[in-house]
Amino acid sequence: MTAGGARLRVNASRRTLPVRRLVLIAIAVVLLVAMGLDTKVVSSSSTEGAPQKAFDPAAWGKKTFPKVQQDIAKKAVAAPTLAQAVKKNPTAAGKKYGVESGAGAGPEVSLEFTGTVGKGTQGIYEVSVPGVPKGILIRIQTGPAITGTDLRDAPGNIAFGQFRNQIDYQNAGSALNQQLKKQVLSKIDTGKLTGKKVHVVGAFQLINPDAWLITPAKLEVK
């Protein structure tokens, strides 16, 4: 090997080294820029990224129940009108007057009526409503146990996606039922309704066209 050949290799190595350094520096710059673009600066006073607070059903129910009452009242159809539509075509009646139920099985329908309370069992009373055919059984539930999610589902604007999970969604329905008992039913002697005239604004799930179990949002004894 000649001295000239050795000098050529040394010079080539010296030229290659800066090029490699430049490539590595360029790669590092690109990575830093990418990291900067992907980084979001959050001030110390921001709540973003903080853990979500646990759902408080009682507080949510107390705040939401008055709005639910209003929404159901706005959607409420007169019971005789609904009865005629249901007798004609239950499916069409559900689509016209109801909203899709979060519990499935049938639409939630809001309605309003004045009627005379009949016999009752375990807080569930039959109600005779003028203009509603005898073939349709109307009942209202007054507690102590209020079942179902009519109050949650009937307004049509309370959805599963607004809650963290299924448990919170279920608890929301129960919380509204509890507020019904506190804000409405606690003011009424629900053990002595037979024979009395009542005005009801409420909702039910239209599953059996001939049997309606109403959850009242408002209940007034005349």
Q: Same domain for 27 and 133?
A: no
Write down the mean pLDDT value for the chain.
86
Residue 203, pLDDT > 60, answer yes
Residues 6+ apart with CB under 8 A from 132: 79, 80, 83, 113, 115, 138
Judge if 27 and 93 occupy the same domain.
Answer: no
Residue 32 and residue 65 in one domain: no
156 and 207 housed in the same domain: yes
Q: What CA–CA distance (Å, rounded) separates 156 from 73?
A: 13
Tell whether the model's pLDDT for residue 12 goes beyond 60.
Answer: no
Least confident of 61-65, 102-106, 179-183: 102-106
Q: What are the start-end ranges of the H helices in 114-187?
A: 150-153, 166-183
Phi, psi of 210 (to 5 degrees): -100, 0
Q: pLDDT digits over 110-148, tens only?
A: 999 999 999 999 999 999 999 999 899 999 999 999 999
pLDDT, position 48? 46
Centre a 10 Å sphere on the Cβ of residue 177 and count the other Cβ atoms it contains. Answer: 23
Which CATH number characterizes residue 82's domain? 2.40.50.420
116: in domain: yes
How would residue 34 be classed by pLDDT, with cut points 50, 70 and 90?
Answer: low
Q: pLDDT at position 53, please?
A: 78
- Say if residue 114 is in the same domain as residue 10: no
Structure-model confidence comparison of residues 33 and 63, the more confident one: 63
Domain hosting 215: range is: 57-221
**What's the pTM value of the predicted model, to 2 decimals?**
0.76
Determine, yes or no, domain membership for 214.
yes
Task: Grade residue 35 by pLDDT with cuts at 50, 70 and 90.
Answer: low
Q: State whether 83 and 134 are in the same domain.
A: yes
Task: Flag whether 50 is in a domain.
Answer: no
- Do 170 and 96 belong to one domain? yes
> Is pLDDT of 38 > 60?
no
C-beta of residue 142 within 8 angstroms of C-beta of residue 123? yes
Q: Between residues 26 and 38, which one has the greater pLDDT?
A: 26
pLDDT of residue 87 exceeding 70: yes
The answer to whether residues 18 and 71 belong to one domain is no
Same-domain pairing of 78 and 129:
yes
pLDDT range class, residue 23, cuts 50, 70, 90: low
Q: Between the ranges 2-16, 39-53, 90-104, where is the mean pLDDT highest?
A: 90-104
Please indicate, yes or no, whether residues 70 and 175 belong to a single structural domain of this protein: yes
64 and 32 together in one domain: no
Overall number of domains in the chain? 2
- 103 part of a folded domain: yes
Are the beta carbons of 215 and 183 closer than 8 angstroms? no
Flag whether 132 is in a domain: yes
Q: Is the pLDDT assigned to residue 216 strictly greater than 60? A: yes
Claim to verify: residue 117 and residue 205 sit in the same structural domain: yes
